[in-house]
Structures are given as C-alpha cells and as structure tokens.
C-alpha cells in the first residue's frame, strides 16, 4: 500500500504523465493545423469564423499546463517577445486603431503561438519528430489525391467549396482555366506549406536508416512529385529545390549518404518519366509551365522573382515610408483585423510580413521583433548543422523549410503561423543530442 502511495506521489512519474499529456496536446495542434480548413469548408461551415482560431485554446492550454507544473521556464526569446508585444498592445489602444479585439487578435500571434515552439521542443524528442514524419507520409498521399480531385473538378463541386461552404469555390487563380487547389486548407498557401514540410521528411526517410514502410515512402514520393504541377505553385517548387540543396550539403558532410542520395535521385527521375506519360500529369504540367512563364514575364524573370520574394520585400520594409512611432496598431495588418475595423478582409497595411510588422508596431518595435526572429533562425541553424556531425540530418532538412517560414512567413495568416510554430518546435526537438550509444543504435540514424 505504501509503495503504491509513493509511486502516485513520485515527482518524476508525475512529470512524465504531464509531459505525455502535453505531447497529446501538440499532436492535437498538428491535426487541427492540417484539418482546420476542412472543418471550416466542409464539415462545420456555420462555425467557419470561430474555427479560424481553433488552435488558440490548445496553445493556451499547453502554456497554462507548463506554467502550472513548472515544466518549462520562459527563455529570453519568449520574455523579450512578450515584453515588446505588451508595449505595442498598449500603444495600439492609446495611439493606434484603439480596437481591443483587433489588438488582442494581433497580440495572440506573438504571446500565445510563439511560446508553443519551445513547448514542442521540451516535450518532443527526435523519435517524436520522426513519428510525426511518418504520419506526414500518409497524409501526403491523401492530400495529393485530394488536390488532384480539386484540380480537375469545377469550382462549384463540393470538394472545392470555400470557407463557410462558399459555392464560388476555394481555388485561387492558376493557369489554362485551372485553379490552384487548397487541399484541406482554407487557401492554397496551406497546401504549399504542407507539401514543403512533407518534402523534408521524404528526403530524410530516403537517406536515414529509419524503419519505414518502403511502399508508403515510394507512394509519398510519387504524391509529392505529382503535387508540384497540381499545385500550380512556383513557391512549392522553389521550396523543394531549397530542401534539395540542404540535402546536398548534408550528403557532402556525410559521404556515406552519397549512394542513398543517388538511389533516391534515380528513383525520382524514373517516377517523373512514368508520370510524364500520363494524361493527368501532362495537363497539370502544362498549366504549371504556363503559369510559371506568365508570372516570370510579369515579374521580370526567375532571378528577379527570387530576389524580390526573399530580399526585396525585406529591404522595402526596413526602408519604408513614414509611420507613426508606435505604428498603426497590432492586428490591423491581418485580414481578420481589417474585417473587424472596416467590415471587409483586406491588407490595410501590407501583404508582406516584414512590412506588416513594422506598419503595425512602428519601426523600432517592429525591427526588434524581426531581429529576434532572425537570431532565433541563426540559433536553430547552428543547432541543426551541428546535428549532422552527430549522425542526425533531420533537423537540418527541416530547417530548409523552417528558416524561410519563421524568418519571413506571413504570421498574420493562421495557417502559416501554425506551420511556423510546428516546424520551429520540431527542429529544436529533433536537434536534441542522442543521450547514449544505445539510443543512437536504436534510432539507427545514418
């Protein structure tokens, strides 16, 4: 009887139970991220507006549990981010737009979701990150089939319903009469984010010695390659190209991976040859190619497009026009905030993330937040590269997607914010050192 009492009051056992519960919360956050749009479009369209922030209660619960049980202490990133956000929050009410609801919606981005990155890093480890990757493989196949149906179906079809069950459709302007499909998400951006993250895991499972169903991996690889033209998205193509470059760097650091890389490359080319002889892939590739060429003509070529997307908007934001010292107020640059202020969703400040932040918070506070995000990116980059030396390439490959979405992803958009939070936490979790040789052999990483 006394032994049972001691076990129930064992602080180590109690903490393990709490961490296990927190892990379930992270998984819930993940599934709500993937299927939030499906709920808003197809299953609970009458709740489309409140479901926009469906992950917020989960994030709040995770933070509360960690605080209550002292699972994790606030680090410098969280403390500085919270302090700056609270200053901007007060300034938004006094000097800015003056709307409490809009300011709260803007503040939640930085003081509710950003800390979840470090909660994921605390309760997840490398094995958890790998488990999520295996789930991503299954979802990649399902998502590819779904966007294929959306691509070839009219916008009036149920599979293309928009937010709130809108029969006008959720597709976005594409090419050749075809629309860019959103998958389970509210907008095509979520679809691109999903496959970009899936690409990191697919490259990893081809290179690492991790127990994985080969048929599942092959099917997910076919799904990823098919998704590129079906998405009609240059961003997805660029993202996969970046992951490929990161993979080359990892292979160069670990020569024993070269053979696996060659096998993967040859297999990918064979898949493309087979897909190229199918009508559906040819149609999608034609639309994708025409979209690519048309956009390049408008934007001045691929090099100009890449420079403007990754550097031009940053430079414009920092060298921007005159602004109030404290900006126009938190949340004003979000679609939801603009809808609350004007009755219509629009970009009241700017579409790009850096310009939005500086426009909402003013130059000084906005730049502080951007510097904090840049320092965090540098931090996880160093951790990820060091992991390669420990026979662990997963954080480095996840970084190929995470670094851009964390540094300049549009956090005002809930789906982008969700993927930024998730990938940041996964990179840190996967970067944890393998504690023993036994664990290293168990994971059989490289």
Mark residue 301 as left, alpha or beta (left: phi above 0; alpha: psi -120 to 50; beta: remaining): left
What CA–CA distances, in Å, run from 200 to 314, 372, 426, 427? Answer: 25, 25, 12, 11
d(CA 369, CA 162): 33
Could you identify the residue written with the tokens 């109030």? Answer: 324
pLDDT of residue 199: 98
Angle, helices 188-207/234-253, rounded to nearest 10 degrees: 20
Residues contacting residue 43 through CB under 8 Å, at least 6 positions apart:
none
pLDDT attached to residue 311: 58
DSSP letter for 155, please: T
Q: How far apart are CA 24 and CA 30, in angstroms?
A: 10
Per-residue tokens: 165? 């069950």
Is the pTM higher than 0.85? The answer reads yes
- CA pair distance 148, 36, nearest whole angstrom: 20
Query: At 255, is the pLDDT very low, low, confident or very high (cuts 50, 70, 90)?
Result: confident
Among candidate residues 427, 425, 421, 418, the one with its CA nearest the CA of residue 382: 427
What's the pLDDT tens digit per position in 288-347?
888 877 766 666 555 555 555 555 556 666 665 678 999 999 999 998 999 999 888 788
H helix or E strand, kind and range, residue 60:
helix 56-68
Q: Give 409-437 pLDDT, tens digit per residue.
A: 999 999 999 999 999 999 999 998 654 43
Tell me, what's the pLDDT at 13?
Answer: 82
Q: How far apart are CA 403 and CA 145, in angstroms?
A: 28
Residue % of the chain over a pLDDT of 70: 88
Neighbours of 154 (CB within 10 A): 10
In this structure, the number of other CB atoms found within 10 A of the CB of residue 219 comes to: 16
Q: Tell me how far CA of residue 344 lies from CA of 65, 96, 97, in angstroms.
A: 37, 19, 16
**370-405 pLDDT, tens digit each:** 999 999 999 999 999 999 989 999 999 999 999 999
Q: Which residue, chain included where needed, has tokens 């840049």?
A: 374
Give pLDDT, residue 289. 87
What percent of the chain shows pLDDT beyond 90? Answer: 67
Is pLDDT at 29 greater than 60 in this prediction? yes
Cα dihedral across residues 341, 344, 347, 353: positive or negative? positive
pLDDT score, position 7: 47
Mean pLDDT of 155-166: 90
Q: Rounded to whole angstroms, how far apart are CA atoms 83 and 175? A: 46
Q: What is the mean pLDDT of the chain?
A: 89
Residue 246 or residue 300, greater confidence: 246
Go through 31-50 and write b for each residue having 16 or more CB atoms within 10 A of its CB, e for each that does not: ebbbbbbbbbbeeebeebee
The predicted pLDDT at position 33 comes to 98
Q: Which residue has the higher pLDDT, 178 or 142?
A: 142
- Is there a contact between 224 and 199 (Cβ–Cβ < 8 Å)? yes
Q: For residue 126, give the nearest of 438, 441, 424, 433 by alpha carbon.
A: 433
For the chain, domain boundaries = 2-443
DSSP-assigned letter for residue 320: -
Q: What is the DSSP letter of 80?
A: H
pLDDT mean over 17-35? 97
CA separation for the pair 275, 218 (Å, rounded): 13
| Residues, the chain | 446
Q: How many helices (H) and strands (E) does the chain have?
A: 20, 2
Is a pLDDT exceeding 70 seen at residue 5?
A: no
């Amino acid at each position: 009887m006394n032994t049972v009492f001691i076990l129930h009051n064992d602080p180590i056992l109690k903490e393990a139970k709490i961490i296990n519960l927190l892990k379930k919360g992270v998984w819930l956050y993940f599934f709500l991220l993937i299927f939030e749009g499906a709920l808003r479009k197809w299953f609970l369209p009458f709740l489309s507006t409140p479901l926009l922030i469906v992950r917020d209660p989960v994030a709040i619960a995770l933070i509360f549990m960690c605080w209550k049980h002292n699972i994790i202490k606030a680090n410098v990133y969280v403390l500085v981010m919270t302090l700056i956000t609270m200053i901007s929050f007060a300034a938004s009410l006094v000097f800015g737009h003056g709307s409490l609801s809009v300011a709260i919606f803007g503040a939640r981005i930085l003081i509710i979701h950003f800390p979840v990155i470090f909660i994921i890093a605390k309760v997840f480890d490398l094995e958890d990150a790998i488990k999520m990757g295996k789930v991503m493989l299954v979802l990649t196949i399902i998502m590819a089939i779904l966007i294929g149906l959306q691509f070839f179906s009219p916008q009036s079809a149920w599979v293309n319903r928009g937010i709130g069950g809108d029969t006008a459709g959720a597709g976005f302007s594409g090419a050749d009469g075809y629309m860019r499909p959103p998958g389970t998400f509210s907008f095509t951006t979520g679809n691109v984010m999903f496959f970009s993250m899936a690409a990191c895991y697919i490259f990893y499972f081809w290179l690492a010695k991790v127990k994985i169903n080969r048929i599942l991996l092959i099917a997910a690889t076919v799904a990823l390659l098919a998704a590129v033209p079906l998405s009609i998205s240059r961003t997805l193509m660029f993202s996969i190209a970046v992951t490929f470059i990161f993979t080359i760097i990892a292979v160069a650091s670990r020569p024993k991976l070269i053979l696996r890389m060659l096998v993967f490359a040859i297999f990918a080319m064979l898949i493309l040859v087979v897909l190229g002889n199918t009508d559906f892939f040819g149609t999608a590739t034609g639309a994708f190619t025409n979209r690519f060429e048309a956009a390049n003509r408008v934007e001045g070529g691929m090099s100009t497009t890449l420079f403007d997307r990754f550097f031009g908007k940053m430079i414009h934001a920092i060298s921007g026009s005159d602004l109030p010292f404290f900006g126009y107020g938190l949340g004003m640059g979000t679609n939801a905030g603009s809808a609350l202020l004007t009755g219509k969703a629009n970009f009241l400040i700017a579409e790009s993330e850096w310009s939005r932040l500086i426009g909402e918070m003013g130059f000084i506070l906005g730049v502080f937040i951007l510097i904090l995000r840049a320092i965090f990116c540098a931090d996880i980059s160093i951790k990820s590269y060091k992991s390669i030396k420990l026979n662990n390439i997963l954080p480095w490959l996840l970084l190929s997607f995470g670094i851009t979405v964390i540094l300049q992803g549009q956090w005002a958009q809930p789906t982008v914010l969700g993927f930024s939070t998730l990938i940041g936490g996964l990179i840190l979790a996967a970067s944890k050192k393998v504690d023993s040789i036994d664990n290293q052999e168990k994971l059989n990483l490289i």
